[in-house]
Amino acid sequence: MLDPKRQAYNEWLVIRSQQGERDAFEELLGYWRQRYLLYAIRRLDDRDAARDVTQDCLVSISRSLNKLADPAAYPKWSFRILERRCIDWQRRRIKDREVIQHQEELPEVGVTDRTEDRLSVEEILAQLDPRLSALLRLYYLESMRVSEIAQIYNVPSGTIKSRLFYARKMLASALDKAESNN
């Protein structure tokens, strides 16, 4: 959740953007673009795909911003669009993999382990399942409430709570593993 001043300013930018003020729209997207990109990178684990998905999200936002009735809902509304674009990309990727597998047998490529003395939070999050990492990002880094995240994923709040619980356990396990390697 944004601080009250930022929230009010964000709402004001949304309203001005809906009235057709290009500068307000550019400022609004300028503030959120990097957050969307970081979310997509961690969600998809592919920087190029994340750029494409973020761009698709921004196009969708620009086309449908006038349909947003409550300017205060912009963050969760926009992240929901981004999440849908991420899911669409993953579905296309799965379909592409299935086609390739049917055409020829490819040997599986193993993931190389990277050992370093210290791991950053970003590196630890990158080790988690992208869906769990995305939940942790929305909850802790974007300061969204469970109910807002539930609306983004279109699932009950209880489901988000249990996924957050599981994600925290996985994060703690990854941190313990990292510390034991040091």
pLDDT digits (tens, 9 = 90+) for 160-171: 998 888 888 888
Is residue 111, in this structure, part of any structural domain at all?
no
CA dist 35 to 11, 32, 41, 75, 103, Å? 17, 5, 10, 10, 38
Q: What pLDDT is attached to residue 98?
A: 63
CATH of the domain at 11: 1.10.1740.10
Low-confidence ranges of the chain (pLDDT < 50): 102-118
Q: What pLDDT is attached to residue 172?
A: 81
Same domain as 63, residue 1: yes
| Cβ count near 133 (within 10 Å) | 22
In the numeric block, the tokens 């300017």 are attached to 71
Domain boundary residue, one of 80, 106, 132: 106
Q: Which domain holds residue 153?
A: 116-182
pTM above 0.85, yes or no: no
Is residue 165, in this structure, part of any structural domain at all?
yes
Domains contained in the chain, number: 2
Radius of gyration for the chain, computed over Cα atoms and rounded to the nearest angstrom:
18
CB of 168 within 8 A of CB of 160? no
DSSP at 110: P
Is residue 79, in this structure, part of any structural domain at all?
yes
Q: What pLDDT is attached to residue 119?
A: 54
Helix (H) or strand (E) holding 100: helix 74-103
Q: What pLDDT is attached to residue 51?
A: 95
